[in-house]
Structure 1
Amino acid sequence: MDELSLTVRLPFAIRRSHVLAAAIGVAHAVVLLVYAFVLGRVQVTLDGPAAAAALVYTVSGMVLLAAVPAYLLIEYSLVLPAAVFALNLALLVRGELAASPDGAVAFQFVVWVVPFALLLLVGGVEYAVRRWLGPPPGPLLG
């Protein structure tokens, strides 16, 4: 009998760096959401399309906030975006340990765009400086 093979051609190549960065982003989002919802730090009611859109905004933001610096570190060896993410995460943990009435996680869910923009900015600057000083940064993993 002949073997049946199925080949799927995607318009882009999925590389190990894409999968690893996506896994890191999803893990970050899952951990924060479990912490926020299961431990009662944030309460969400899905009462309509606006609430559902807010949830999509939050989850996609948490994924991007971790996946993009991971991808930039893996694919381009850019360290500063990962450092901004780590600093943001440290400040988030510090804010939660301070036990303030306004939760740091709830605040992070809304304004994730600010650290995201900052890590993109420092990543662009690091890439430009490293390219100016020599060849463009290459992948961390071979």
Structure 2
Amino acid sequence: MFALILRRHGLDPDAVDDVARAWSAFQEFVQEQIDGIEPAEDDGDGFIVQWGRWSWNDDRPALVFTRQFAVSDEGDQDDEFWQPQHWNVELELFFADAPAWADLGDMAWSNSMGFDFDPIGPERAAALAQIARFIESLPQVSAMWRAIPVGSTLGLERAD
């Protein structure tokens, strides 16, 4: 579904070249109802925006837009230790090194806004707007936001 939304915004999921359009597509994606997942109030449908350098991406500067959801259709739900499966749909945007974000990995603040599980609709829209305002207050991250990514990946992976 996210790949279709990205394409509707004129973006190739494997070659995203515009962070603002990717963000618009992500905002649309996280507002879509998905059948079969736990509700947001049970931490079953949320999102996170992250930035930084990680070993799994060769320490390249990156912005990551993730929607996490919980699926409860497997296993014995009567088992006292049963948990839903958590899955991530993740768009990772990679950037070339640049002086504007050279110290991205050393910044004193957290490298994400944390997971947000506000319900779909106005509350989620407000949370997305808050994240955008916060990012604008961070010079390194807002510089990446205005830059052209050198690569991207869109994936689905189990989160637990």
TM-score by length of 1: 0.31
Higher helix share: 1
Higher strand share: 2
TM-score by length of 2: 0.28
Q: Which has the larger radius of gyration?
A: 1
